[in-house]
Structure formats: C-alpha cells, structure tokens
Chains A and B, each alone.
Chain A
C-alpha cells in the first residue's frame, strides 16, 4: 500500500480547522436531514456538539470503551428503524451516523482528511434522493466549505483567513468545471444506469393507480407535482382533445374499477387525418405504463400495446424517461368485439344500485338505440342539478344510486363510474379510462405541463359501426373542466394546489419560468443519455461516431482544456503583468531558442553576464537590452519603452 505522505512533525489541526470541519459537515448533513430519521439527525448533531465541546473545554476525546458500544447501538438502531442495513435510506443513514462518530476520534491531520473525503462522498449521495436543479446548486455550498476546510488543514504553517480559503477553494472548483463539462458531454454513456438504484428509492412517488374508487383521483387533484411534460412537433391539438390515455379499467366489483388482466385479440384501428407527433418527458411514477395522447398509433421502444390500447412498459418507470409518440385524434377503434370480451364489458355486480338499474332498464324498454341511451345519460347529467366539486360527500353501499339520486355532487371518477354503470345496465359495452386531461402550455419554452391535478377519468362506449367512442360525462356537467382546466371549473374556495390556481399572475409567471428552467435541466442534464449523446455528436460532427472515436474525442478535449488551464495558470499572470515585462519575456524566449534559459530566481544582470559568456558574439546586444530593461524596471528615470522594444525586436 502506498504510504501516505503526511508530515508527522506538523502541528495538529487547530480549533479553527475544527470549526471549519464542523461547519462544513453541518452543510452536508443539511442536505440529508429531510430523509434521515429524526433520532439519527439529533444524534449526529449531538456528536458534532460533543466534539465542539471536547475542543473548547479541553475534555479529551472519548475512549474506545465508550465509542464501540455507541457504534454497535447506533448500527442496531439503524437496522431497526430502516428494517435492515441495506438499501438506500439505511446505507445513507449509516454512513452519516458513522461519519459523525468518526468525529469523536478525529484528532490528527490524517483523521481530518479522511473525514473530509467521506463527507464529499456523503454529499454526492444526495443525488440518490433528488436530482433537481436547486439540490444541484445547493450542493456547491458544502463542496466549497469542505474544500476550504481541506485547504485550511493543509496550510498548517499559516493561519489563513476564511476569505483566502474560500477564494482558493472557489477557484479550484471553477478550474474543475471545464473538465467536468467535457467529461459530461463526451464520456461514453452506458445505456441505462451504471448501477441499479435500490428499490426503496422509489417509494412515495405519486401518480395514477391501476384501480379507481371514489376519491382516488380526487386525492391526486390536490397535488401540484408535475406528471409529465410534452413538446409537440406541430401546433398542439385543442385543449378538449388533450386526453392522455392511461390505465383502462374494465372490471367492476361494485365499488372499485380495476384493470382487466385477460388478453383479447387486439382491437383493430382505422385512423383518419394526420397524426399528432410529440415527445413526452414522464416523471417516474413506479408503475409499468406510460401516458400517450388518445389514441396512440405506435409505441415507443421497450413498450407494448395492451389489447385495450393501453401502452405498457416492461419495467416500472423508476427514472424520468423521454419518448416520442404519435397519435390520432380521430379514429375508429375495434370493429368487432369478441363474445367473452363483450361479456366482460357488460359485467356488473348483481343486486346493487337497484334504482340505477331501473333507470337503465326504462331506457332499454323504450327501445332506444345505444346512441340514444348515451344521450339520455348525458342529458340527465346536464339537466339535473349535478355539481362538479373536489369535495364530494361520502357514498353509501349503493354508490351509484346514492350519487345519481341523492348527493348529485361528485368529481370526475363519480361521473365516469356511474355513467359506465348505467351504460352496462342498459346493455351498452362500456369501460372507464383514466389518465390526464388538458395541461398548461408554458409560453416560456412552448411545452405542455401536465400535473397530477390534471388527472381525470372518462368513459368509452362501444357502438356498432362506430367502435369505441370516448364519452366524457364530466364535460356534460362542467364543460369548462375540459375546455380550459380544473381551476376554472371549481369554486375559488375549494382547496386546490397552488400551482393549479390562477389567482396570482406574477407568481404564475415566475412559476412558469422556473418550470421551464427545470425542464431544461431535466432534458439536457438529467436526460442526457446515450441516445442524446450520440444525437449531439452527430449534430456536431455530421457523422455517426463509434465508441473509439468518442474516447479519442474525450481525450483530445480533456487535453485541450487542461493545456488551456495550464497556460493561464502558469503564464497568464506573468503575461498580463506589464508591457516591459512582456517585452523582456520576448527577449528571454528568443534566448531560450539558443538553449539559454533564465532561472526564475536569476537577476537580469546575472543572467546577462551568463548569456554573454555563452553567446559572446551577441554580448553587446544582450548588454544593451539588459541595460534598457533594468533602467525601465528598476531605475527612477523614465526611459523609453519603444526603444527597448526595438532592441528586443532587432535581437
């Protein structure tokens, strides 16, 4: 093992160094506090405070007899709190806690360096939890503090002030930036993540579920979180056509709608008109479907169409993904229905909601066509005092009856669910489709933001000769929900997420700009994958690059950046200094060509004597130039720079 070259005779790090270290660690821990268990955070703070007092009151560090039991107890505590020692949360908590414990035996310079490097690693771990722009920006702070601490620990012969340390640390980080950018752009990217992120990394993601019961979408509507963002290649379709198809729910147990797991012959599709092409950046939601505009005509790679035209991915979406899609807004889906499929689509739990069944039966008795039945139901919603609200009353054992005949207050899932119930009761095949409706066009970069609050449920009915037809009963009750957005369709007094509201125009504008910045970050930094790398390089070079080319390009670029940096670091200051020095440097360069190099510590006269001895034939010129130089640089009289320059040029 390589011996670490640390000056053992150097003094121990000072109290000032310790304060810097504790301060930096506070910043590092601040990045983790939101996902550490409370007792872990408190314990870490306790160790920090203890170490501070040890220094201040000269208590002496605790002995191993005390530390070992604490370490074991802390490890057990973490194992109990996080149900094991593995996985993201437990590992990071363990690392943070052990780092704090390490403080209790941090005394020598070497200990400090170890702690600082572990702290760097802990800082990077923040990215396992969040990779947003603010987190990335805030992370610079602990990095700066840690680097300053490291500088302080190394410069033991002189107590530098915080200004010097942070300035040096800042310039070190700034010097690293160009290299970082080159590596970011050119370092060959692997398809998919390098290592698999632990499973618990995906807990707490919100999104649609594979079932629907009264209140489930209602809950989502309160969240301002972004579900996905869409860039359209052409003009976006009208707001009322923006139905983003998600899970299709065909199975009803009397309360909950569920995905049908059986497969049928894929439904046929005839399309008319031009497709709408777009690119979606989907936030992770930990389910294995992706959202596409109704109705998708093709599927992105690694996905497949279910028989009811839902787009399923192979694996749950655990990272932000980007895919392009193509959809038709006018289409004819499913010419024919299979018998067992028709049976499923008419399936209802027996003996529930008698009043609704009666109503449906009355429509059937009057021998109305299916189209007429659909109209009957819609006009019922439209004409009777139904209200669209975020806070519907709780429904009893016969939820559809309760809703249609009593409360008449509901959210989209109430309307979709009762509508499909009525259709099935009247013998019209129908199903519930969940997804998102609408979205907000961000004028900053002209893309569509679709939030969790845009979650929606609607119905599809199958009509002979027309195939599946989308019917949105909510639109009958609250047309503005579909034509504009949710904030327009509910009372101002209703609890709606801040981001969906329209009350504060300035805030709104700020928010839209912020979302555009985030979108850029997601697209270009987080979403910079192998595909995008190849795309960019192809754009830059006009050619498809192989891995070999990429490695060569990386090395060349890194080399260029390093040489530029070296040039500025080694020569920049001197070149900038003053014109006399520049001219003299020219002279030195000319002499260097004859193999005569001035030492940095060699005075001009000494050098001239040496130079004359080496180049006697030029001694007159050399002496003249040296004379002019020393006169200009060291004497009081103001000699002419021009003459000096001439001499050097003539040399």
Chain B
C-alpha cells in the first residue's frame, strides 16, 4: 500500500512542484476521511492542488466557485416542475460527486457556507424533506484566502471544526519556481497526469487506515496533547473530541503512508499542526504564541 501512496504523491508532485510535505498532509487527510481546507494567498496553486488530487485519485469531481451571491441551491441541487410528467424533478447540484472543490469558500455568505454543513458531516443532502445519499467516497476540498482579505466572510468555528486539516502552501523554492516557469508543472499539465487509483481503491486504503494499530502509550500522548490545549490556559478553547478523533485517524494515515502497521508519536507530531492550528486561538493577545503547532509539540512531553 505504501507503493500506492508513494505513486500518488509522486504523481501529484509533478504538478505541484516542491510541495511534497503539503501533498502528503493533504493525502493523509483524505485517507483519514476528512475534509481539507487549503488556505493561502491568491495564485499559490490552491485550486491546482485540489484539481490534481481529484484527478490522481481517479475520482469524479465538481468545482464550485464560491461568490457572494452563490445560493445553497446552486450547490445542493433544485427541484424543477416537469410539465411532461406533471411532477417536480430533482436536478442534483454539483455536490453529488466524489470530490467537491469549493473554491474560495470564504467569499460566499454564511447561509451558503452552512448549507455545506450537513453535507460534510453526514455525507447526505436533505432537500424538501427527502434525504439523498452522496456517492462514496465523498470529501470537500475547500480553498480560501486569508481572512484579512477584502470581501471575505470568515468561516464560523463550527464549520472550521468540520475541516479535519488546514494546510498552507507558501511560495515555491527557487528550483521549483524555475521548473514552473519552464512549464514543467502547473495547471496546464493537470490533464496530462494519470489516475493512480479509483474510488474503490481509495475506499480500500481508507479502510486500511482504520486498521493501523494505536497503542495505549500513544493514546496517552494524544490525551496529554488534548488535555494541554484545554487546561493550560493558553487557548480560549481546547481541541474538540472530533479534533481528537481526527488526530488519531490522521496519525494512522501517516503511519500507513510510511509503510508501518502501527502509529508512532512522530506520526502524531507530523500531522498535529495541520489539525490544531485552525482550531486554536490564544487566550489572550499578549501571550500569543507565534506558531501554535510548534508550541503545542514542545510543551507536551511524550509519556
């Protein structure tokens, strides 16, 4: 299975140059059945990364460009009266897919953002009293600009907590930048890459992640981390139990990607910043730590 994940990473790296770490985190998030939030400045390759991932994973995907006038029906679908059959017929929205690319999610109004809530949590859509299942696997990859940008509606905490992981891309290094400029990667080449796996294969991988062994000693560490965020007084609110579960599943995915059938503290440490940083806020400004993830890792001893 390591081969599969390695191939996926290698293939994606052909498009997103020099960002192997972020690609691995994104993959871990997907293997842990989580939704992914990519946050960065415009033009850093957020959309390309999501695009590429969907393509490499061989999944059906739809892309929705979020704007301030986007309505829930535009995502979920709408029932239209059909004169021939004299009944309402449901026209599924772009959400009925494997991968929903929610581009610039924080440009939409809170109403539209929250219409994604049920979809993300339950994997189903309830419209006009009828519940429709989404295809499996289903996950959302959302991109957003930093919240201080003009024309954004910051995602509410409840919605942020539904994203298992948030990653940031950052500028490419000089070598990658040169390759990009030489047209050896980037958006234009997305169509050239081959799917390395299909929906069934991905489900199999996701199942394998669940079987990765987590020892009691590691659970002690996880709990120590969660407890620290809740009791140290450094954060206005600690990590939720959902975040704790996500932490465990991501660590399992990370272990699987590294060819182990058990998780190590290092696995937890690798994925922790991606899971914790968008959920934690410093309790008081004067005491703010610049890098929440690193602070957390250094503050909690491995039992």
Contact = CB atoms under 8 A, between A and B. Distances in A.
Contacts of A633: 215, 217
Interface in A603-640: 603-606, 630, 633-636
Contact of A635 (B230, B231, B262, B286): B262
Given A9-B286, A603-B269, A633-B217, A158 B262 contact: no
Contacts of B297: 601
Contact of A158 (B231, B269, B286): B231
Nearest to B233: A157
Interface in B41-82: none
Contacts of B263: 634
B268 to A, nearest CB: 8
A603 B231 contact: no
Nearest to A577: B303
Contact of B261 (A10, A600, A635): A635
Interface in B272-303: 283-284, 286, 297-303
B194 interface: no
A636 B284 contact: no
Chain A, interface size: which category? 10 to 19
B265 interface: yes
A157 B231 CA distance: 6
Nearest to B213: A636
B264 A158 contact: no
Interface in A584-610: 599-606
B264 A156 contact: no
Nearest to B214: A634
Given A601-B297, A603-B302, A634 B217 contact: yes
Contacts of B218: 634
Query: Chain A: interface secondary structure?
Result: loop
B266 interface: yes
Contact of B232 (A157, A599, A604): A157
Given A158-B231, A633-B215, A604 B301 contact: no
A649 B102 CA distance: 57
Contact of A605 (B213, B264, B299): B264
Contact of A630 (B264, B298, B301): B264
Nearest to A605: B266
B265 A603 contact: yes
Contacts of B264: 603-605, 630, 634
Contacts of B266: 603-606
Given A601-B300, A635-B215, A9 B284 contact: yes
A597 to B, nearest CB: 13
A600 B262 contact: no
Interface in B220-277: 230-233, 260-266, 269
Contacts of B232: 157
B283 A600 contact: no
A563 to B, nearest CB: 22
B220 to A, nearest CB: 10
Nearest to A573: B303
A194 to B, nearest CB: 42
Contacts of A158: 230-231, 233
Contacts of B269: 603, 606
A327 B21 CA distance: 96
Contacts of A577: 303
A238 B285 CA distance: 83
Nearest to B299: A601
Most buried by B among A10, A634, A636: A634
Contact of A601 (B213, B233, B260, B298): B298
A600 B231 contact: no
A636 B261 contact: yes
Interface string A4-30: 000001100000000000000000000
Nearest to A606: B266
A601 B215 contact: no
Given A158-B231, A604-B265, A606-B266, A635 B213 contact: yes
A577 B299 CA distance: 21
B217 to A, nearest CB: 5
Contacts of A634: 213, 215, 217-218, 262-265
A606 B265 CA distance: 9
Contact of B283 (A157, A602, A603, A636): A157
B288 to A, nearest CB: 12
B300 to A, nearest CB: 6
A157 B283 CA distance: 10
A122 B213 CA distance: 57
B94 to A, nearest CB: 42
Contacts of B217: 633-634
B87 to A, nearest CB: 55
10 contacts: A601-B297, A603-B264, A603-B266, A604-B264, A605-B264, A633-B215, A634-B215, A634-B264, A635-B262, A636-B213
Interface of B: 213, 215, 217-218, 230-233, 260-266, 269, 283-284, 286, 297-303
Interface of A: 9-10, 156-158, 577, 599-606, 630, 633-636
Q: Which 10 A-B pairs have the closest CB atoms?
A: A157-B233, A600-B301, A603-B265, A603-B266, A636-B213, A635-B262, A634-B215, A9-B284, A158-B231, A633-B217
